[in-house]
Amino acid sequence: LRDRAAPPRPKRPKYVPSKIDDPNYVRIFDTTLRDGEQSPGATLTIDEKVQIARQLSKLGVDIIEAGFPRASPDDFKAVKLIADTVGTQPQDDGHIPVICGLSRTIQADLDASWNAVKGAAFPRVHTFIATSDIHMEHKLRMTEDEVVENAVNAVKYLKGLGCDDIEFSPEDAGRSRPEFLYRILGEVIKAGATTLNIPDTTGWNLPLEFGELIAKLRANVEGIEGVILSTHCQNDLGLSTANSLSGAQNGARQLECTINGIGERAGNASLEEIAMAIMLRGQQEMDGLYTGIVPQHIHMASKMVSEYSGMMVQPHKAIVGMNAFAHESGIHQDGMLKSKETYEIMSPETIGLSRTVDAGIVLGKHSGRHAVKTRLAEMGYDVGNDDLDEIFKRFKAVADKKKGIKDEDLEALVSEHLFQSTS
Ligand code: KIV
């Protein structure tokens, strides 16, 4: 099983944004700097955004949605700076991420986005308009025909500006009528859109349902075989990762996500979860899917985003939580000491964590003799069985009252025991 943590990775295809090079390659579109920054209270400075973008590029992200340039002068500046720097500098393997700006379908937004991203080697503009009955009636107050007209005009306008990597999103697609989606998506493809992103804006869909929607779009939208289908799953029901993977299993070849899963309300699909699930299960259980993510940079990306955004990562968060590689119970620790495969499906080193410094066995009230003996040996104490019995008894008594037992606590227990047995 552990060999799956580092399967021989197919070489990343030379990335040409709008072209389908390898049918199994899943593009990772990171929107930490746009949707992620929409987490209440997560505002980032321009400098922080550029630093995060650099880390995302190292991480092997294919597309960085750097912001919403029309939202504020600083957002424009940040997107432009990222496009002109990160968007022009190749990584060691020659990879340069696409830099993308988000816009509504209105001209001032489209102009701002294009002006902000056009300095990148691979610029993209992402435009969106809502397509669910609820949004069209209450928010847009537009008819279906008006919504289609707006979408098509926006795509044509972008083409006229010289932008040929155009992403279109029917906002709230997860609650939109599929027949209307077939129509609007077919029209924007004809107008020149190259990526069609399907947002489950309210996190409403269930995994099978969302996968089915992607499959239905592939079967019913005219011209869809020539574009990339993408997912954008919010996490209101905690299903964003499952929905994104289900989308990929049904033909989506771009997955939108954020570091640590930050984003509007309950957040977005988490990049690290998607990337590791595809890395560990993609080859064998997902018909050979793979991404270009370099997992050793995940931990650093997670730390940076959490520190700069002020959004703490919950301890039990998959992949990047403080406890994701910690083992406390005696049975688990015993298993881990015999073979790491017993309780770990990937090693902490895979995501750039050091086992000794950042992860591993945590001594606490559920720990067993084996773990205590091993830690004592690592600390230089070679204790016989009788001594261990005594130290272990004291250990359990202390562990019952403390959240975690540190090396200093063990030192104290050993000294106490030695003092009492010699006096
Ligand atoms: O959640 C959403 O619908 C979005 C779109 C703009 C992609 O963020």
Q: How far apart are CA 274 and CA 231, in angstroms?
A: 12
Contacts of 139 (CB under 8 A, 6+ apart): 130
Buried b (16+ CB within 10 A) or exposed e, 249-272: bbbbbbbbbbbbbbbbeebbbbbb
Q: How far apart are CA 62 and CA 244, in angstroms?
A: 16
* CA torsion, ordered 183, 185, 191, 193, to nearest 10 deg: 180
Does ligand 1 come within 6 angstroms of the Cβ of 199? yes
In 3-state terms, what secondary structure has residue 73? helix
Instruction: State the pLDDT at residue 290.
Output: 93
Across residues 342-349, what is the average pLDDT? 92
Pick the atom of ligand 1 nearest to 169's CA.
7
Across residues 65-91, what is the average pLDDT? 96
2 has pLDDT over 80: no
375 has pLDDT over 50: yes
Does ligand 1 come within 6 angstroms of the Cβ of 201? yes
pLDDT band for position 357 (50/70/90)?
low
In 3-state terms, what secondary structure has residue 125? strand
82 has pLDDT over 80: yes
pLDDT band for position 20 (50/70/90)?
very low
Instruction: State the pLDDT at residue 3.
Output: 43
Most confident of 120-124, 331-335, 337-341: 120-124
Residue 385 burial class via C-beta count within 10 angstroms: exposed 0-12, middle 13-18, buried 19 and up: exposed
The Cβ of residue 388 has, within 10 Å, a number of other Cβ atoms equal to 17
- Most informative mutation of 232, 244, 257 for ligand 1 (most atoms within 8 A of CB): 232
312 has pLDDT over 80: yes
Spell out where 283-421 has E strands.
Answer: 326-327, 360-361
Pick the atom of ligand 1 nearest to 197's CA.
7
Instruction: State the pLDDT at residue 10.
Output: 53
- Most informative mutation of 32, 169, 240 for ligand 1 (most atoms within 8 A of CB): 169
Cα 365 from chain centre: 34
Amino acid at 23: P
Q: How far apart are CA 70 and CA 112, in angstroms?
A: 6
For the chain, give the mean pLDDT. 91
Percent of the chain with pLDDT over 70: 93
pLDDT band for position 422 (50/70/90)?
low
pLDDT band for position 19 (50/70/90)?
very low
Lowest mean pLDDT of 101-110, 238-247, 313-322, 366-375, name the range.
366-375
Instruction: State the pLDDT at residue 309.
Output: 95
ipTM: 0.98
Name the residue with tokens 């403080």: 322
If you measure from the C-alpha of residue 232 to the centroid of ligand 1, how many angstroms do you get, rounded to a whole number? 7
Instruction: State the pLDDT at residue 18.
Output: 40
pLDDT higher at 50 or 400: 50
Instruction: State the pLDDT at residue 359.
Output: 63
Across residues 155-172, what is the average pLDDT? 97
If you measure from the C-alpha of residue 205 to the centroid of ligand 1, how many angstroms do you get, rounded to a whole number? 14
Half-sphere exposure of 104 (CA within 13 A, CB side): 9
Lowest mean pLDDT of 14-28, 165-179, 285-299, 383-397, name the range.
14-28
pLDDT band for position 1 (50/70/90)?
very low
358 has pLDDT over 70: no
* Nearest residue (CA) to ligand 1, atom 2: 201
Residue 35 burial class via C-beta count within 10 angstroms: exposed 0-12, middle 13-18, buried 19 and up: buried
* Nearest residue (CA) to ligand 1, atom 8: 35
5 has pLDDT over 90: no
Rounded to the nearest 5°, which phi and psi values hold at 405?
-105, 120
Q: Closest by alpha carbon to 148, among 134, 126, 130?
A: 130
Listing DSSP states for 92-121 in one string gives TTS---EEEEEE-SSHHHHHHHHHHHTTSS
Across residues 84-101, what is the average pLDDT? 92
pLDDT band for position 214 (50/70/90)?
very high
Across residues 244-257, what is the average pLDDT? 98
Does ligand 1 come within 6 angstroms of the Cβ of 169? yes
Tell me how many degrees the CA angle 251-292-29 measures, rounded to the nearest 5.
Answer: 60
- Most informative mutation of 30, 35, 200 for ligand 1 (most atoms within 8 A of CB): 35
Does ligand 1 come within 6 angstroms of the Cβ of 128? yes
Q: Closest by alpha carbon to 346, among 319, 371, 326, 316?
A: 319
pLDDT higher at 343 or 306: 306
Q: How far apart are CA 64 and CA 234, in angstroms?
A: 18
Rounded to the nearest 5°, which phi and psi values hold at 72?
-165, 155
Does ligand 1 come within 6 angstroms of the Cβ of 291? no
pLDDT tens for 258-271 read 999 999 999 999 99
